[in-house]
Structure 1
Amino acid sequence: MAKLLRMPEVAAGATTVVLSEWPLADNATFAIDDALAVIETDKAVVDVEAEYPGVLLKTLVPAGSEVEVGAPIALLGDEGEKVADIDTLLAELGVSDVAHAATPAPAPAAAAPATAQPKPATATAPRGRIFASPLARRLAADAGLDLSGIEGTGPNGRVTKRDVLAAASRAVDAAPRTTAAAAGAGYTDEPHSKLRRAIAQRLTESKQTQPHFYIHGTARVDALLEARAQLNQISPTKISVNDMLIKALAKAHQLVPQMNAIWTPDAIRRFDGVDISVAIASDRGLLTPVLRNVDKLSISEIASATKDFVVRAQEGKIKQAELEGGSTTISNLGMYGVPEFSAIINPPQSSILAVGAAAEEPVAVDGRLEVATVLRVVLSVDHRPVDGAHAAEWMKHFTDVLENPLRMFA
């Protein structure tokens, strides 16, 4: 029996959501877990997945519309179902006009004409249902490419990331070349995505409303690296240095519970468990999914969870609920060789730990020089819920745990 697909509430308190893409055409069949629609929130791009196999009888709002939560967006049917008069069926379901529930989403800033944008690949006859990975769909949308014009080389003709990148390269090669403008070098304006606008807004809000102060810390991590090597001999999942740092961060929050709090308009909210956001750079921008109850997780469980986040961030599969909560974030740029940096707090959290690269340095020990592996970190703290003395105490415990890694398991 045909039924309506309504816009889900993917973010708590949200009243409207942008429907950015219809992966399927009208009358296309779908299987369980296939993406029926792609929607954008302030934090992520989310697939609306099918809960049962069926057919997409009709889409009710155009892609790019801002739709009220709960409003009908499509008519779905069971497998093999055909409807002779869809308009009559919609009327029977109480849908006479959905225009009031969908308005065009705010347009991105217009691109400067200095450089031509990539053109869609050469159009081909509609292929019906198009099989493509979520990442391939995202890349195609970002490049302005039509998936129906891209030849898929994956299983059963599935369009893959490689196919989209190859098509984008061909489109760029075919596009007219531009020369430097009279006043200087040529340039290309990349319109802001909804996610990039949200990141900019949140970080600007953070610096304007959260009084930041910074605590620097240094630790010898030779013992930590040795402990990691030993753990990896028995762990079912390979443990990274960042996994060890996440565990140490949670331990420091347990030792200094004043840090495990956030500022709200009416109170300082203190948490019982330690939830930590992990900053992940994806193709669509920075995401910070939250590891829940890290204080209760084993180091192997932390490693498995973070690896899952990284994979799903690249595929656009991080769920909205996974981006909410937590009192702190860890941001690690050590893999890029950055020795030290400071980061902006992700509101409404109260802190963020910036981790640099571990490097061998000379250190003084009892009046003599030794070579040790040294790690530098910077803790950015919201001064409203956290006093400087508590942040300093936290850093003392954190660096102590790094230098004595067995303490993180005590």
Structure 2
Amino acid sequence: MAIPIFMPALSPTMTDGILSRWIKKEGENVQPGEVIAEIETDKANMEVEAVDGGQIARILIPEGTKKVKVNELIAVLKEENDSDEDVIKIIANNSSDDKKVSSDDVKSSEQAKNPKAIDSISNSTSYQRIFASPLAKRIAKDKGINLNDIKNGSGPRGRIIKKDVLSFSKPIMQHLTHRMEDKVYEVSSIREIIAERLLISKTQIPHFYLTISCSLDKLLQIRQEVNDSATIVDEKPNYKISVNDFIMKASGQAIKAVPQINASWNGDGTITQYGNIDVAVAVATNGGLITPIIRNIDSKPIIEVSNEIKSLVKRAKENKLKPEEFQGGSFSVSNLGMYGIEQFNAIINPPQSCIMAVGAAIQKPIVRNGQIIIEHTMNITLSCDHRIIDGAVAAEFLAAFKNFIEKPLTIFL
């Protein structure tokens, strides 16, 4: 019997995603375990592998389609003895209840030999008289353009896309006005999920903030000495520890000293106190923010932490992280010091209880033992979930963190 292929759930939080590319096309044969498509989730780009072997009989969701629901039918695989009728039944039986397609409807569409049959028989993606992308429709509506006037789209199977509408409207715009043209663009799946989660976090979690200033002079000296001791391999040092590596390691040590920080609010009258210390580092990518995790950071040497962070950040920017490398975590660090930001308040990443915002190292006059001296100082702001953490506990954590930063040799113990 023909085999349905559904939109997979590639992470626990995934409800929908973008079907970004079909690796296999209609009529092509596939083997079990072979990659057939690429899907953009709320965190990264993932490959979809075929579970069974056979021939791709129908592709129901065109590549580039956004908000494809988990478990929505995206394609049908035909085995050697399957008939077209078997394929038709699979499509009809897996249409959503509010947009049910009968076998006769599907069969009629097949018999019509319409080159756009894929879109006609798949009501799971919403049937439209005009074959155009959602962004193209929105731009056309804003500019008062009738899409029927655009005869040939440049997208797959003649689909009207953004550039078709803009090129059609450009001559009209030149006669009407010299005003600079606004740009409307679709956001990535990652950016959309970030927006939803941060809105929930900021409106439903009672944040409070504590800020502390740390001296960095000793840390900068120790960092230089450690880096100077690196072994040269192929004319390059085998490691190079950054200030952020020290911050990540110190945060893990401080969590170990104040374990009440390492918890989550469950929403059912319980709190989860985590046994492992897994610290996430915020990484900016073209698609949005992602937080890869250093597992058991308190038990790892700082050089290992440094090398692991570099690897995770590189793969995060390339959208090559595995789900287990960015899911979970009990604490986050967000560092904007490299951009010259001296202090900021970060928004908690649920279900975590805290996020630490790190500012730039700035030389400032400091009064120490009655004398004015110049030191490198760094502001740290801790955002806390007040349902879990009280002010005194947060202050205890920051004091422990400050001690590790200002006495950096203790980080190595």
The TM-score range, normalised by the shorter chain, is 0.7 to 0.9
5+ residue gaps, structure 1: 117-121, 127-142, 147-170
Q: Distance in 2 between matches of 1:303 and 1:172?
A: 47
Over the residues paired in the alignment, what is the CA RMSD in angstroms? 4.2
Write out per-residue CA displacement over residues 298-340 of structure 1, whole angstroms, 9 at most, x where no aligned residue. 2222222222222222222233443322222111111111111
The one-letter amino acid of 1:10's match is: L
1:103 aligns with 2:124: yes
CA deviation string 1:100-123 (max 9, x = no partner): 39833896793474699xxxxx96
Q: Deviation of residue 385 (structure 1)? A: 0.4
Check conservation: 1:115, 1:186, Cα contact below 8 A: no
TM-score, scaled to structure 2? 0.72
Q: Name the structure 1 match of 2:306.
A: 303
Structure 1 Cα separation of the partners of residues 5 and 239 of structure 2? 39
User: Distance between the aligned counterparts of 1:294 and 1:145, measured in 2?
Assistant: 48
* CA–CA separation in structure 1 for the residues paired with 2:74 and 2:263: 40
Q: One-letter code of the match for 1:295?
A: D
After TM superposition, list the pairs within 5 Å mapping 1:134-213 onto structure 2. Answer: 176=170, 186-213=181-208
Q: Which amino acid aligns with 1:245?
A: I
TM-aligned CA deviation for residue 67 of structure 1: 5.3
Taking the aligned partners of 1:194 and 1:124, their CA distance within structure 2 comes to 21
Letter paired with 2:187 = H
Counterparts of 1:187 and 1:145 in 2: how far apart (Å)? 14
Q: Does the CA-based 8 Å contact 1:401-1:407 persist in structure 2?
A: yes
Alpha-carbon offset, residue 183 of structure 1: 12
Q: Secondary structure at the match of 2:221?
A: helix
Alignment match, 1:39:
39
Judging changes above 3 Å, is the alpha-carbon distance between structure 1 residues 357 and 56 closer, same or farther for their aligned structure 2 residues?
Answer: farther
Q: Name the CA shift for 1:85/1:55 in 2 (closer, same or farther; >3 Å).
A: closer
Q: Which of 317, 335, 338 does residue 335 from structure 1 map onto?
A: 338
In the superposition, relative to structure 1, how do residues 314 and 368 fare at CA in structure 2: closer, same or farther (>3 Å)?
same
Report what 1:287 is aligned to. 290
1:270 equivalent in structure 2 = 273
- Of stretches 385-394 and 294-303 in structure 1, the one that deviates more from structure 2 is 294-303
1:358 to 358, 361, 364: 361
Q: Unmatched 5+ residue regions in structure 2?
A: 98-122, 127-132, 146-152, 232-237
Paired position in structure 2 for 1:368: 371
Match of 2:84 in 1: 87
Question: 1:257 maps to which residue?
Answer: 259
Post-superposition shift, 1:31?
9.9
In structure 2, relative to structure 1, the CA distance for the partners of 1:13 and 1:75 (3 Å cut) is same
Distance in 2 between residues matched to 1:85 and 1:276, nearest whole Å = 51
TM-score using structure 1 length: 0.73
| Count of residue correspondences | 359
Tell me which residue corresponds to 1:155.
none
* Alignment of 1:217 onto 2:212: yes
Distance in 2 (alpha carbons) for counterparts of 1:181 and 1:391: 59
SS of the counterpart of 1:304? helix
- The structure number with the bigger radius of gyration is 2
Shift in alpha-carbon separation, 1:145–1:406, aligned structure 2, 3 A? farther
Query: What does the per-residue CA deviation read over 1:330-389, in whole Å, with 9 as the maximum and x for residues that have no partner?
Result: 111111111111111111111111111112222222122222111111111111100100
Residue identity in the other structure for 1:285: G
Aligned with 2:313: secondary structure? Answer: helix
Residue in structure 2 matched with residue 159 of structure 1 by the alignment: none
Give the Å deviation of 1:174. Answer: 11
Which range is displaced more, 171-180 or 54-63? 171-180
Matches of 2:287 and 2:60 in 1, distance apart? 25
Distance change in 2, residues 1:326/1:181 (3 Å): farther
Change (3 A) 1:206 1:89: same
Could you list the per-position Cα deviations for residues 128-182 of structure 1 after superposition, in whole angstroms to 9, with x for gaps in the alignment?
A: xxxxxxxxxxxxxxx9699xxxxxxxxxxxxxxxxxxxxxxxx999994857997
CA distance in 2, matches of 1:100, 1:7: 13
% identical aligned pairs: 32
